[in-house]
Amino acid sequence: MRQRDMKRLTAKVPELTHAQRQALMRQLAAMEGQAASVGVIEDRIGGRCPHCGSTRMVRNGHAHGLQRYRCLCRPKRCAMA
């Protein structure tokens, strides 16, 4: 997000009701939790195919906030999320 857009977004926060602020904080907290989970999963995978151990993979879209990869050694059998 551009800095200008971020300023516009944060300028709107004082206009929120208490309930809206609480809902926003819950959503942000959930997003942070998801980002942390994604980091743990990606670290655990370590850039290797979990089936054959190959590092020869290409990006193949996203699913549930995770980068999907396709293994080049056995493309049909080693796709992982």
| Residue ranges that bind Zn ion, judged by CB under 5 A | 49, 51-52, 54, 71, 73, 78
Of 54 and 67, which has the nearer Cβ to Zn ion? 54
Half-sphere exposure (CA, 13 Å, Cβ side) for 77?
Answer: 6
Minimum distance from residue 80 beta carbon to Zn ion (Å): 8
Minimum distance from residue 68 beta carbon to Zn ion (Å): 13
Buried b / exposed e over 10-24, threshold 16 CB at 10 Å, is eeeeeeeeeeeeeee
Give the number of other Cβ atoms within 10 Å of residue 45's Cβ: 16
Minimum distance from residue 45 beta carbon to Zn ion (Å): 12
Nearest to Zn ion by Cβ — which residue?
78
